[in-house]
Structure 1
Amino acid sequence: MFRGITALNLDAKGRMAIPSRYRERLQTDAQGQLILTLDHRGQCLLLYPLPVWEAIERELIGAPNLLEVVDQLKHTLIGHATECEPDGQGRILLPTMLRELVGIDRQVTLVGLGNKFELWDEQAWDQRRKGWLRAAQDGAVNLPEQLSRLAF
């Protein structure tokens, strides 16, 4: 499981160091092979271990294009997918095009979400997080029934 939030900086070439606490797990589970793609809302990048990505990709490819949303998901997720393999220092290159699409410049927030990571521009992440917290404090968050049973 990938969890937690990490503030990172890109180097001059657009490379990001994978935090050391995740490297062994990624090597064991995915032989270091990762897929970087655009989030379907275009707000952040998604980083998947290859086996997790392959399952998602199979589902998307197998889904009929009858619904426009499925076609959009295929174009966004599969169309922007880029293979990444950490170098000897545990860094991956974030392609310029993907960084520009989500506004990532130098400071990145890496968010572990179980089976994947989100990569956010630091300022965009801060704004998003503050919005979520405000909504929760204002009581504007309505959990689906299956989540309302969780004790958190």
Structure 2
Amino acid sequence: MNPIRKKRLTLIGLMVAGIGVATWLALNAFDENLMFFFSPSEVAEGKAPTAHPFRIGGLVEANSVKRKPDGLTTAFSVTDNAEAVTVEYTGILPDLFREGQGIVAMGQLNESGIFIASEVLAKHDENYMPPEVAASLKTAHDEGVSNMQSKVQ
């Protein structure tokens, strides 16, 4: 093979390998930062990952907020009116956090099925609800209505 062709082929091979490594690094970084949203019903069905962070949203269930003795840890249940998931959060909760309030929590499930939140977000006014939460509540309501109709018939 001609030395010039050999040099060009080596250079092209190195460029393809470099582009491949750069693509792999970009996709790996994207995968690590990707955070999906799951409703409490989906978490109860086992669709949520256990070793990867995700978001969960719904309404804070009435009479479910329990503060631990350390003063910063709070446990509460998030529901979509079909299923409920227990959430534990250590830190200062948002001022708008209360029972019956729509929230979105970011974190991951532990081995016992409790969602350990790293961040809790509450809606900012009485008319706003995160789109994912509104959609999961509507789906749970529609499924509940169809389940009730089939039980009546």
TM-score (norm 1): 0.23
Bigger RCO of structures 1 and 2 (CA < 8 A, at least 6 apart):
1
Q: Bigger radius of gyration, 1 or 2?
A: 2
TM-score (norm 2): 0.23
